[in-house]
Chain A
Amino acid sequence: MQEIEVTDVSLVYDTPAGQVHAVDHASFELKASEFLCLVGPSGCGKSTLLNILAGFLKPSGGEIKIGGKPVNGQGMDRGVVFQDFAQLFPWRTALGNVTFGLEMKGVPKEEREQIALEQLKLVKLEKFANAYPHHLSGGMQQRVAIARALAYNPSVLLMDEPFAALDALTRDDMQRLLAEVWRETRKTVIYVTHNVAEAVYLADRVVVMSPHPGRVKKEVVIDLPRPRDPLSVAFLEYQKQLLQELGEATAKPSARQ
């Protein structure tokens, strides 16, 4: 059985300037523990689609099922990580942020702190458990955000360009760390990015989207052993292929909106 089924999902924004077909009849599926990257140029509806998956937006059409159940609003079966560092609560320590979901679930204090500490260990931040977010670097804050989204043990992790605002070196570190975290936790991941190398490094499968209207253009299975070597010929071939698809996606004469 598929863990996630996205069937014919559309979303139209009504704006003063007219309707924007942000997502147009998107369909794809994920197996449990699969790592899927959504790739596409800016404005092709990646964030919109992820927000529908997270339950923040209601689709204008189509349906999403997770674990066989139709998605209706937010749920603790999903963990969400955004691009914005500001997603952490500044008034809570790293540990306090990570315990939040468990607190909402009613897990006793001692137990939730122990679980949160383990999650922080997973992202190598256990030493910073008592630090407030503003004392942490951007990369560390994003790691806390990942730990926070994992702590209450959702089956699905939704990530919207979590490393896009980081410098290139930190981003490489973070990708390596995320690959490790995924190997350990085996979550089903949908990861939005516009960075092709990142997609090839992380994904089992890449869904390429094209803008105006936001459509699924192509799926590419990345059949490479892990850990992946970004300098290997095969890696670069995949990158080239995706860039080509993206180039076509972007160059396509955009439909009137």
Chain B
Amino acid sequence: MQDAASTIAIAGVENSSAHVWRERARLIGRNVFPFIVVGAIWEAIAWAGVFPERLFPRLEEVAWTFVELTLNGILPNHAAQTLLRLFSGFVVAGILGVGIGILMGRSRRAEDLLLPIVSIVAPIPGLAYAPLFLLWFGLGNVPAVMLVGVVACFPVIFNTWTGVKAVKEIWVRSAQSMGADDRRLFRHVILPGALPYILTGLRLGLAQAWRILVALEMLVGVNWGLGWLIFGARELLNTDAMLAGIAVIGIIGIVLEKLVFQKIENYTVVRWGMVTA
């Protein structure tokens, strides 16, 4: 009886390496295929001359520009600048969002007070209040970071709040019966219990942060950042530079998703069986 159960528990872990490799190859194939198709269509349009060549460069030109701009440091510099703002703003959003969300989830009074405000402000596109921030805080990194922080914190608030509400009462009771006070209940039960939702909120928040930041970099004449690079390249009809900038945004997005969020998830909520991979 017990042995049967133990085999079941262990069977899932073992796997032949050949099987693993085949699985991995299949996965890579599935992820690469769509890009090959889109790339082929792009090339076809470029070759057919639907648009003037300057406005619709072939992929190898974009690739060359990408390499060139990378080697001469222009792309990395702009990317670093954008990333710095992105992360600063995202940290602000994370702290604000998780803090407010937990407060709303745990305290009835905070919920009654904050929910109406959050519900009204959240759907307003962040760009709508961007000019206000610029007037208040000037042009520069401060307003960018503040704006990104405020705009991106809403999905974090909503998801954290939902997550805290979804923490099972039975976990709370178990912990309390084992002597957990409020502080340790928070750290050892509420936080890990709400983590699947918090991670979802952070992921959505990061996507929001990207959007508002790139738009802001285009809007404001601060001459650094990927948004500015893309927007500035427009004036010189440098479509290949624009596409290279867009590609960098895409690559950073994928890297953050695959190497940061998925890793964190796999190490926590997936490993704990709270979320299926």
Interface residues of A (CB under 8 A from B): 54-56, 74, 76, 78-80, 82, 84, 86-87, 89-91, 100-101, 103-105, 124, 127-128, 131-137, 139-140, 148-149, 152, 169-170, 173
Contacts and interface: CB of A to CB of B under 8 A. Distances in A.
B192 interface: yes
A76 B179 contact: yes
Given A89-B174, A128-B9, A133-B273, 16 more contacts: A74-B176, A76-B179, A79-B178, A82-B173, A86-B170, A90-B272, A91-B195, A91-B268, A91-B272, A104-B178, A104-B179, A137-B5, A149-B177, A152-B178, A152-B179, A170-B1
A139 B9 CA distance: 13
Given A54-B177, A84-B170, A91 B274 contact: yes
Given A137-B8, A169-B1, A87 B177 contact: no
Contacts of B5: 136-137, 139-140
B10 to A, nearest CB: 9
Nearest to A105: B179
A127 B9 CA distance: 11
Interface residues of B, number: 30
Which of B9, B171, B174, B268 has the most chain A CB atoms closer than 10 A to its own CB?
B174
A107 to B, nearest CB: 11
Interface string B159-193: 00000000010110111111111001000110011
A132 B273 contact: yes
A127 B147 CA distance: 52
Contact of B178 (A76, A128, A140): A76
Instruction: List the 5 closest pairs (A to B, CB-CB), nearest first.
Output: A134-B273, A101-B178, A104-B179, A91-B192, A90-B272
A100 B175 contact: yes
Which of B178, B180, B274 has the most chain A CB atoms closer than 10 A to its own CB?
B178
A137 B12 CA distance: 14
Contacts of B16: none
A104 B180 contact: yes
A105 B177 CA distance: 12
